[in-house]
Structure 1
Amino acid sequence: MNAQLEKQLKAAKMAAREMMTLDTTDKNDALEAISDALLEHQQDILTANAIDLKNAKENGITDAMYDRLTLDEKRIAALSASVKSLISLDDPVGEVIREIDRPNGLKIVQVRVPMGVYGIIYEARPNVTVDIAALCLKSGNCCVLKGGKEAIMTNKALMDIMLEAIAGIIPEGVLSLIENNDHEIVNELIHANDYLDVVVPRGGAGLIQFVVKNATVPVIETGAGICHLYVDKDADLSMALEIAKNAKLQRPSVCNAIETILIHKNVYEEFLPPLREAFSKVKIYGDERTCEVIKAEEATERNYATEYDDYIVNIKIVDDVNEAIDHIYKYSTKHSESIITNNQATANLFMNALDSACVYHNASTRFSDGGEFGFGAELGISTQKLHARGPLGLREMCSFKYKIEGNGQIRE
C-alpha cells in the first residue's frame, strides 16, 4: 500500500476510537469554526477554484461539469450555512433506539454509534469535501476523502482551511484528503479492510460500478440517477411544465435531475410544443410520436439507459400510468421518480408500485437532497436497500450496538 495513504488510514482508525466518546459540544464547536473559516478564507478558496476551472476548461470539460466544479461567493456562503445548520440538529451518537426488559432481569438498550471510518470517492464537486467532513464530525465518524483530479486545488484549500479551524478541538486524523491522483490509490482504498468500515462512491455510473464490483470494503451504493418525470392525462400542464423545467434545467449535472420525461398519449400534442420552447438549449431524443410533433432525434434503448448529467433529455409517449411504471422499472436506477397528476388514485398507484428510493407527486425530483429533507446535508443518496435508502443524513451514517445491564445473571 502507498505509504502516505496507509499513514492517513492509520491516523483515521486511531481517531475513530476517540470520536466515539467525543462530547457534542466539541463537535458543534468544530462545526462553528469550520463555518466561520470558510467565509474568512473565501478568497483563498476562489483563487484555488480558479486554477481548477482554468485547467478544466483547457481539458474540454462539459458546461454541466464546469458548473459542478465551480464555487463562487454564493456557493461558499451556502456551504458555510450548511455546516452551521448541523449544529442545531440532534447528535445521533448515543441515541436510544429501543429498550428491552427481559424476564431474567437483563436490561438491553440499543443505541446509535458511529460507523467508524468512511472512505469517500467522488468526482468534480468540491462542495462534497465540506459537506461530508461536516457530517462525519457531527455523527462521530472519521473520513478519508478522495476527490477527482479536476478539483484537486479547491479540495486542498478547503481541507487546509477545515483542519486549521478544528485544530485543538477535534482529534488529529479525523479528516484527511488523498492528494495523490494515481488511479491505483482508489484500488488500494477500496481494499483497505483493516482501516475502513465503509466506502461510498459519489459520481457517475462508471465510478460507482467500479467500486461496487471491485471493493472488498463494504460499500454504500449512491448516486447514479436515471430519474423520470411522468406527465399524466390528468395533469395540470402548466404545473408539469414548471416542474419539468426545474427538474432538468436548474442544475442538470446532479444526480436528482431528470433524464426522461414520459407523457400520456392524451396530452402530448398539447404539452410538447411549450416544453420544446422551454427546453431550447436542451438536446432532445424522442420516440416516433414525439418526433412527429417537435424537433428531436430518435431515441434508442441506449438513450433511455443513460445518465446524461447534461442538457440532454429523452421523451417517450405512453398509453397509461402502467406503461410509465413498466418503463421506469426497466431503465430506472431506483433514485427518484415523479408523477404530475390531479388524480389521487393514479398518484397512489404510481407512488406505491415503484421501488425507487424517492417517489414524488406533483413536485420536482430536485428535492432528493439531504438539505431539502432537513438533514443538514447528505453523505449521498443511497439507491440500495441494505442499511439505508435515499438521502443519507446523520442517523443513516451511524450503526448501532447493544448495551446490556445485568446483576449477576448467567445462562442456564
Structure 2
Amino acid sequence: MTADVSHIFENARVAARKLNLVDTETIDKILLAVADEAEKEVDYILQENCRDLALMPKTDPKYDRLMLSRERILGITSDMRKVAGLPSPLGRILASFDRPNGMRIEKVSVPFGVIGIIYEARPNVTFDVFSLCLKSGNVCILKGGSDAQYSNNAIINIINKVLISYGINSNTATLLPNDHRFTDKLLTAVGQVDLIIPRGSSRLINYVREHALVPVIETGAGICHTYFDSDGDLEKGRNIVFNAKTRRVSVCNALDCLIIHKERLSDLASLCKPLSEKNVLIYADPKAYGALAGKYPESLLQPATDDSFGTEFLDYKMAVKTVDSFEEALAH
C-alpha cells in the first residue's frame, strides 16, 4: 500500500466546503441517527471489536481500554444524543463594534474546516470525535490506533451509512489506513488539513508536537497525582489510592504518583497495602522505600528513578514521592 493520501485530504477539503451549507437542524438529526444506527448495529460493532481483542493479550492493560460492550456502546450513544442537544457553536457573534465611518465589524464563530485527530486504541473516541466535529461544522480525518482497526472500521461504516442517507458527503468522516506512514502524512498536510488534535498518552502528544507542520491543539497528558497530607484520614486515603490506581489502569485519569507528607510515612505501608492485591509495582523515593521495605511485597517494590516521576504508566505501576510540606507537594 502506498502512502499517497493527497486524494483523501482533497476529498475532505471538498466535504468541508459542502458541510458549511448544512443547517444545524440537519446536523443534529444526523447525530441522533448515528446514535440510533449504532444501537441497531451493536452486534456488528461487538463482533469487529472481538477481532481486535483477539489480537491483544488479556494481560495487556490496554485490553480494557480497547474493549467495547453493550453497556459502553449505550453510554456512547447517550453522549452523542447529548451533543445533539447542545446549542450550536456556529454563527455565534462573539464581539461586535462600529467604526467611526459607520462600518459594523463582527467576530463570528466559524468551523476550522478539516481537523485531523490522532488517537490510540480507544474505539469510543471515533464516535466522540465525529460527534464533536460534526456539531461544530468540521470535517474529521481520523488516525486511530492499529489495535482498534476492526472496531474503528465498523464505526466509520455506520457513520458513513448515515451521512449518505442524509445526502451528506461521506468524506465528512474519514478513517486513514492502518499504517504509521499515514500519521506523518497527516501531520505535514499543510494547506489541506487545518488543525491536528492528538488524543492520548504524553508520548503520542510529544510526537505530534515535534513532527507536525500543521497547527496543533494539545490535549492534556494524564499524569495524575494524589497527595496524602499530614492530617489525612488513613481509611479514606487507602480507599482513594486503591480506587484511583486500580479501577481502570488504562485510562488517562488513573493514579500515577502518590505524594505523601513525611510525617505520615509510618502509615505508608497501610496506605498501599491493598495495592498488592492487584500486583501494583511501586517505584518509591528513598524515604518511601525505607517505609515500605519489609511491609510491601519485595517483588513489587523498586527504588524510584528520575523517570518514575512525570510518567503516565497506563499500567499497574505507581510512583511514591515524599515531601516536607503541602507547598512542596504543589511544586512537584
Residue correspondences, number = 323
Q: In proportion to residue count, which structure has more helix?
A: 2
What residue identity is the alignment partner of 2:6?
E
**TM-score calculated relative to the size of structure 2:** 0.91
- Alignment partners' CA distance in 2, 1:243 and 1:90: 36
Which sits farther off after the overlay, 230-239 or 313-322? 230-239
Q: Tell me how far 1:153 sits from its aligned partner.
A: 0.6
What residue identity is the alignment partner of 1:80?
T
Which sits farther off after the overlay, 235-244 or 44-53? 235-244
- Name the counterpart of 1:283: 281
Q: What does 1:13-412 align with in structure 2 at a 5 Å threshold?
A: 13-57=13-57, 62-169=59-166, 170-179=168-177, 181-278=178-275, 280-281=277-278, 282-294=280-292, 295=296, 296-327=301-332
- Alignment partners' CA distance in 2, 1:163 and 1:4: 22
Aligned CA distance change for structure 1 residues 100 and 286 (closer, same or farther; 3 Å): same
Q: Tell me how far 1:183 sits from its aligned partner.
A: 2.1
Q: Tell me how far 1:135 sits from its aligned partner.
A: 0.8
Gap regions ≥5 residues in structure 1 = 328-412
> SS in structure 1 opposite 2:56?
helix
**TM-score calculated relative to the size of structure 1:** 0.74
CA offsets per residue over residues 122-150 of structure 1, 9 Å max, x none? Answer: 11111111110111111110001111111
Aligned CA distance change for structure 1 residues 266 and 221 (closer, same or farther; 3 Å): same
Which sits farther off after the overlay, 90-99 or 290-299? 290-299
Q: Percent identity?
A: 40
Q: Tell me how far 1:76 sits from its aligned partner.
A: 0.9
- Alignment partners' CA distance in 2, 1:8 and 1:35: 26
- Name the counterpart of 1:389: none
- Name the counterpart of 1:357: none
- Alignment partners' CA distance in 2, 1:9 and 1:311: 40
- Alignment partners' CA distance in 2, 1:3 and 1:248: 40
Which sits farther off after the overlay, 74-83 or 298-307? 298-307
> SS in structure 1 opposite 2:61?
helix
- Alignment partners' CA distance in 2, 1:11 and 1:141: 13
Q: Tell me how far 1:280 sits from its aligned partner.
A: 2.6
> SS in structure 2 opposite 1:245?
helix
- Alignment partners' CA distance in 2, 1:158 and 1:97: 35
Which sits farther off after the overlay, 297-306 or 137-146? 297-306
Q: Tell me how far 1:223 sits from its aligned partner.
A: 4.1
Larger relative contact order (CA 8 Å, sep ≥ 6): 1
